[in-house]
Structure 1
Amino acid sequence: MLPLPDAKPLPISIAERRRLLEVARKAIVSAVAAGRVPDLYNVPGEAVRRCGVFVTIRTGRVLRGCIGKPESPFPLEQTVARCAALSALDDPRFPALRAEEIPGIEIEISILSPPVIMTSEQIEVGVHGLAVSAGEFRGLLLPQVAGEYGWDRERFLAETCRKAGLGPEAWRDPQTKIEGFTADVFSEREFLSGGAASSR
C-alpha cells in the first residue's frame, strides 16, 4: 500500500476518458501533419486540473512511442495533447510516426497520482509505478510495465534503476530515492470493444 492516503490519481469519469483519448488522437494527427510538436496546445473548455500524464502509442501490441510528464504545471487536457504529440514524433527510441500509420495505432493514457517516498518493501508490483533518483539521474516506469514483462519487485527496481542510467543494484543504496505512485490507465481498445474504461 502507498503510505499516504491521498496518493491517488484524480478521479476520471468515463466521459472524461473518452474526451482525453480524442484529444490525444487529434494532437497526434495534427503533429504528424505539421511535422513538429507545437509549443502550446489550447484545448477549449477544459477544466483546470493538473497532474502527471503519460501517453503510450502502440501498433497492434507493439510499443511505438511513450512519453510523459510525472508532474505538469499545465491543465490536464493540454498535458495529454502535448505528451501525445511528443510520443508520436520525439520518442528517441523510434522514428517519427508517419501519417499512414495513424489508422492502425492504439492510444493509452496513464493519469498519475502524486509520487510519494517509499521503501523497497512497500512496493506492490502491479499497483505501483516507480521513480528512482540519485543525484542528476532519474528514471521512471509505469505500474503496468512490471506486469507486462512478468517482473518481480527486485527486477522492477533494477529495471527502473537502469532507466535512470544507474546500476541495477543502485536501489539498495540508502542515498537512492525511491518514489511510488499509482496510475489510472485507459485506452482506446476498451472503448472500441464496447466496454467502459477501467483503472489499472
Structure 2
Amino acid sequence: MSLDPEQRLELLALARASIEAALPLGEIAPYPGEPVDPELNRPGACFVTLRFGESLRGCCGTIEATRSLHLDIWNNAWASAFADPRFPALTAEEWTGTGIEISVLSKPELRDVGSEAELLEVLRPGIDGVILQAGARRSTFLPAVWEQLPDPRQFIRHLKLKAGWPADFWPPGMHVWLYTTESF
C-alpha cells in the first residue's frame, strides 16, 4: 500500500487523537469509526513509534494485517503510549514533547533460508525488516533499526538476543520473514 500525503496526515492525526483521548481516561478510548478515506479501511499492519526528544518512548505494532489499517493505527498508538512494557504510561507533560512515527508494513514474505549465512546473503540492509521465529518465540526489527545497527551480522544477532536466544542461535526449522515499511 502506498499512501498519499492526505492519507498520511489522516493516520498521523488518528494516532494523535488516540493518545490524546486516552490521557484523561487512563485506558483506550472508544474507536471513532470509519476513516475519511475509505482506502484506509483495507487490512493493514503497522507499528507506531513514539520518541521523546531523541529517545525512544514507546513502540508497539502488529506484523500481520488482521484488521483495518485505520483501526490498527488507533490501537497501536494507544499501546505505544500506555502499554509498552519497557516504559511507564505516557504522561500529559511528556506528550507535549513526544513525536510520532508510523511504519506501515508490507506483507511479510517467508524466506527459505537454512542458516544465518544464507539469510545474510539475501538481506537488504536499510530496506528489509526481519521476523525470526523458532518454536513459540518470535521477534522483529523494523527497517528503521538499521540506523542503529548498520552491520547485517550485528542486526541479526541483536534480533536473536531480543527473542531471548543466544547470538549464535540458529535451530533447524528457524522461520524467517522479510518485509518493508512505508514510514512517516
Give the unaligned 5+ runs of structure 1.
1-9, 187-200
C-alpha separation between the residues in 2 aligned to 1:96 and 1:45? Answer: 27
> Equivalences for 1:17-166 in 2 at 5 Å?
17-38=8-29, 41-46=31-36, 47=38, 48-118=41-111, 119=113, 120=119, 121-147=121-147, 149-166=148-165
C-alpha separation between the residues in 2 aligned to 1:159 and 1:75? Answer: 31
Relative distance call for 1:108 and 1:45 in structure 2 (3 A) is closer
Task: State the secondary structure of the residue aligned to 2:49.
Answer: strand
Asked if structure 2 preserves the Cα contact closer than 8 Å seen for 1:138 and 1:165, the reply is no
TM-score, L = length of structure 1? 0.82
Work out the number of aligned pairs and report it. Answer: 174
Task: State the secondary structure of the residue aligned to 1:34.
Answer: coil
Q: Which 4+ runs in 1 deviate beyond 3 A?
A: none
CA deviations 1:78-111 (Å, max 9, x no partner) are 1101000000000010110001111111000000
**Structure 1 residue 163: Cα displacement:** 1.7
TM-score, L = length of structure 2? 0.89
C-alpha separation between the residues in 1 aligned to 2:78 and 2:146? Answer: 25
Give the unaligned 5+ runs of structure 2.
114-118
C-alpha separation between the residues in 2 aligned to 1:185 and 1:175? Answer: 31
| AA in 1 matched with 2:146 | A
C-alpha separation between the residues in 2 aligned to 1:58 and 1:169? Answer: 31
Q: Which structure would you say has the larger RCO, counting Cα contacts within 8 Å and 6 or more residues apart?
A: 1
C-alpha separation between the residues in 2 aligned to 1:168 and 1:32? Answer: 39
Using the aligned pairs only, state the percent identity: 34
C-alpha separation between the residues in 1 aligned to 2:98 and 2:75? Answer: 17
CA deviations 1:102-153 (Å, max 9, x no partner) are 1111000000001112331211110000100000000011001022x14311
**Structure 1 residue 159: Cα displacement:** 1.2
**Structure 1 residue 75: Cα displacement:** 1.0
